C-alpha cells in the first residue's frame, strides 16, 4: 500500500505556517511545515506523494531559487506558490517553470486546497 500524501508548507511567517497547516489538516491531509528552503532541503521528501506550498520571499534561498533547485533534483514535486508580493515577472517565471498555481496572500482557502489537490494528483 502506498504511503499517504503529504503537503509541505515552506513559509517564513509562523502565523501563516500555522494557519495553512490547520486548514490543510482540517481538509484531511497530512502537513509538514518548514521556515526556510534549507530546512526543506535537509529532509528526505522523495518517498511519498507530495505537494509543496511555497512562499516566494524566504530568508536565504528564495522560493524561485528553491523551485529551480528542485527542477534538477525532484522535478516531479508539484509546487503551489503563495505570496504577499505578486510581482508579475516572478509569477510568470514560476508558472512557466511548472508551478501548479500562483496565489496571492491572503488566498481563498478553497482555491488553495483545489490547487493542492491538483498537485497531489500529479505527484
Q: Which residue's entry shows cell 522523495?
A: 46
The answer to whether 50 touches 3, Cβ cutoff 8 Å, is no
Q: Residue 51 is placed in which grid cell?
A: 505537494
The reported pTM is: 0.95
> 76-116 pLDDT, tens per residue?
999 999 998 778 999 999 999 999 999 998 889 999 999 99
Query: Comparing C-alpha atoms, which of 86, 47, 85, 53 is closest to residue 67?
Result: 53
pLDDT band at residue 47, thresholds of 50, 70 and 90? Answer: confident
Domains and CATH numbers, the chain: 6-122 (3.40.50.2300)
> 55-86 pLDDT, tens per residue?
999 999 999 999 999 999 999 999 999 998 77
Helices (H), the chain: 14-26, 37-41, 63-73, 88-96, 109-122
Amino acid at each position: 500500500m502506498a504511503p499517504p500524501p503529504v503537503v509541505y508548507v515552506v513559509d517564513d511567517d509562523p502565523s501563516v505556517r500555522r494557519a495553512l497547516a490547520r486548514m490543510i489538516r482540517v481538509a484531511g491531509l497530512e502537513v509538514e511545515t518548514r521556515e526556510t528552503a534549507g530546512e526543506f532541503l535537509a529532509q528526505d521528501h522523495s518517498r511519498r506523494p507530495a505537494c509543496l506550498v511555497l512562499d516566494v520571499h524566504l530568508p536565504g534561498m528564495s522560493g524561485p531559487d528553491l523551485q529551480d533547485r528542485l527542477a534538477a533534483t525532484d522535478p516531479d514535486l508539484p509546487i503551489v506558490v503563495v505570496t504577499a508580493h505578486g510581482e508579475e515577472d516572478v509569477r510568470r517565471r514560476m508558472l512557466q517553470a511548472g508551478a501548479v498555481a500562483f496565489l496571492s496572500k491572503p488566498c481563498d482557502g478553497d482555491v488553495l486546497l483545489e490547487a493542492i489537490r491538483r498537485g497531489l494528483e500529479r505527484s
